[in-house]
Chains A and B, each alone.
Chain A
Amino acid sequence: MSGLVKVKRSNWFYFRSTIFYLFLLFLYGPIAVMTVLSFQGETGGLTFPMRGASLHWFADVFNPSYIGDFRWPWGRSVILALIIMVLTMVISFLAGLAFRKGFRGNVVFFYLVVASLIAPSILISLGIGRMFTSLDMQSAWWSGALGAHLTWTLPFGVLIMLAIFSRFDPRTEEAARDLGATTWQTLKSVIIPITLPGLVGVALFGFTLSYDEFARTSQVSGEHNTLPLELVSVTGTASTPSLYAIGTMTTIFSLLVIGLSFVTLYVIQRRRAGGA
């Protein structure tokens, strides 16, 4: 890496650092407030001041006393996000392989993917909902909402795979084939390992975009709510700081998920480096 910028610590450098750290502060401010308020005392509310401190609202999530049972919606959201994650990985990977070779109509597909990315969430939600109704079918979180989430995660997945494959030197693959590897062997031993970091990225994107999705799910979740829907519906009623407690817990949960995926990535890279 060039030492060029390191040497010149101009005023602009300090300006950029300041902006960056202020941005971090800005990013974490609301989350810090949420975390603090989730330890609100038993009589406290959703805003400051704190009325004592307690773990009451965390207990409330697991043993809901009044309204807002988050446990099932949370479970549903995690399961849905996992399914979306796997589907997004597989579908994007396959599409990436095809796009790479090029085929007739690839431009149409590319624009469809972009359209899926920019389509207003409310249009997708209303459209899928009405589609189910007109087919006299019942939309549920694992059917209609699953589809709605795919329209949101697939564009990210496909675009990332396109980026990964565009940096993938086709000669590597040719070399493998010249050495007598079959298509399957090439796929297994060359393509997948090289694109793996990208695939992990797709997985992370797929999981989080689905886990956090509200607008596209709003008309199609059917009988049971996902977590974001439950959160919004609870904000419409007499909600308590257990709302923040669930926020704090889901953040910790998300951190564990990311941590785990990075450890996986690290182990894979180590193993690969060791094997080389």
Chain B
Amino acid sequence: MTESKDIKSKTVTRRSMLKGTAAAAAGIGAASAIGGFPTVWAQDLKDITIRQLGLAVSNMDPFAKMATDALGFTIEQTATDLGTVGNRGITQPKSFDLLEPAYMQFKFVWPTGNFQPVDINRLTHWDKVSGIYKESGKGWDDAWLGDGQRPHSVMYVDGSGSDFKTPGSTELVAAMPILHNADTIGIRPDEIGRPINSWGELLNDEFNGKTALVGFPAIGGMDAAMALEALGKVSYQDKGNMTQAEIDETFKHLIEYKKKGHFRALWTTFNESVNLMLSGEVVIQSMWSPAVTAVRAKGIPCVYQDCKEGYRSWSLALMIPNHVEGKKLDATYDYLNWYLSGPAGAFFARQGYYVVTPDNTQKELPAAEWDFWYGGKEATVEIRDPFGNLMEKPGAVRDGGSYKNRMGRVAVWNSVMAENEYLTEKWNEFVAS
């Protein structure tokens, strides 16, 4: 009974066939470009299955099919929530072959010793990977560096020990980066009826009882910090790594707001945030971008509001557990290389996420779509998601504008602070107040 598959490709539809062929071509191209290590023959890999565990945003049937078709061995993806991803990485590392944690979880997951480093010499597209993950920590020169736990700071390792080294100082990384994006606040423009351009509006009395925060302490705390800092109520050395005094100050304000009935809810699931917005329970809240899309898909206006203070960003990566070795490890590297080679980038661009090799994505994405998703320009064609559903009509502009406007204005990276325990305790007091 254990061979049951959660998401496995057996039947191949015509559409995925077409896509698959294109992807396969790219994949083979990528494989042949690899030098310096033996490429495993396709027939040897045929029976290999790589079980990936990650979030629902990036683990789904059509994507697993596309990868499977391109690679000649099976990619099986199971979707769950972020907490479970981390928990499984810590407690059950044998239950998957590839884990997809967020960078903010690295300090929990990596030191367990359950994972092996990724050798960047085996990553054929490493030169195309964004500078965010390299020495500078920025995609380009005038990009903001951002507070908190920047991905490159919890990435470079050496063969021994579990601590992280200076960015760029080693050739081994704890995980291979795959995706990133920038989060901001979601609003109901129809209900608010005036322009919004600051995180501070989240705590405006005008929206008393009509706001919500994300209910995860680390992230909710940072959203609150963005708002409090914007209002000038609290100033922070580093919003992504607050001191105890800063945490005290933050929660003193939050509890005051809560006592006034300011927060309608603290949501912890995607659907809650969608329902809160759809039903009009709240008009301004912390939100994830696919949730904004889901609200709009129901015909309710919703905007992922670009704010002057910038964005709170996040990134996901793939980590290889120790038990993966031999041919399976070779196949895993083939998959990692395919992931960064372009087709995956095009797939996720249509979902609104960015794969960390934008140059390769551009090669796979028609120019009109590239201009919409990355360029922040007006759509000139109908914009469809990877499943063929219409997302935007010609003339629409993406919320938050261009890739540079978003990933170049990262105010803070999703982080787990040194004072995380203290923050969680204060958060629980806030919930209980």
Contact = CB atoms under 8 A, between A and B. Distances in A.
A and B held together in a complex: yes
Given A47-B275, A67-B56, A139-B92, A76 B81 contact: no
Given A223-B51, A233-B79, A64 B91 contact: no
Contacts of B87: 219
Contacts of A225: 6, 78, 80
B270 A72 contact: no
Interface residues of A, number: 34
A182 interface: no
B39 interface: no
A75 interface: yes
A247 to B, nearest CB: 14
Contacts of B78: 223-225
A79 interface: yes
A43 to B, nearest CB: 7
Contacts of A133: 91-92
Interface in A218-254: 219, 222-225, 233-239
A233 B84 contact: yes
B96 interface: yes
B91 to A, nearest CB: 5
B96 A223 contact: yes
A65 B62 CA distance: 8
Contacts of B79: 67, 233, 237
A236 B269 contact: yes
A164 interface: no
A77 to B, nearest CB: 12
A73 B7 CA distance: 11
Contacts of A155: none
A35 B423 CA distance: 42
Contacts of B6: 69, 72-73, 224-225
Contacts of B1: 76, 79, 142
A15 interface: no
A66 interface: yes
27 contacts: A46-B271, A47-B279, A65-B387, A66-B60, A66-B387, A67-B60, A73-B6, A75-B4, A76-B1, A76-B4, A129-B91, A130-B91, A132-B92, A133-B91, A138-B92, A139-B92, A142-B2, A223-B78, A223-B95, A223-B96, A224-B2, A224-B78, A225-B80, A236-B81, A236-B268, A236-B269, A237-B81
A239 B79 CA distance: 12
Contacts, number: 94
A237 B96 contact: no
B294 A238 contact: yes
A181 interface: no
A140 interface: yes
A129 B80 CA distance: 18
A127 interface: no
Of listed B81, B268, B271, residue having the most chain A CB within 10 A = B271
A72 B91 CA distance: 23
Contacts of A197: none
Interface in A67-100: 67, 69, 72-73, 75-76, 79
Interface in B264-286: 268-271, 274-275, 278-279
Contacts of A64: 61
Interface in B80-128: 80-81, 84, 87, 91-92, 94-96
A45 interface: yes
Given A65-B387, A233-B79, A238-B56, A47 B278 contact: yes
A198 B61 CA distance: 45
A72 B61 CA distance: 14
B7 A69 contact: yes
Given A66-B387, A219-B87, A223-B96, A238 B279 contact: no
Nearest to B59: A67
Interface string A122-152: 0000000110110000111010000000000
B5 interface: yes
B290 interface: yes
B194 interface: no
B14 interface: no
Given A45-B298, A237-B55, 13 more contacts: A46-B271, A69-B7, A72-B4, A132-B92, A138-B94, A223-B78, A224-B4, A233-B56, A233-B80, A236-B269, A236-B270, A237-B56, A238-B291
Nearest to B291: A238
A64 B92 CA distance: 28
Of listed A79, A233, A237, residue having the most chain B CB within 10 A = A237
Interface in A37-64: 43, 45-47, 64
Nearest to B279: A47
A162 B160 CA distance: 59
Contacts of B51: 223
A79 to B, nearest CB: 7
A103 B61 CA distance: 57
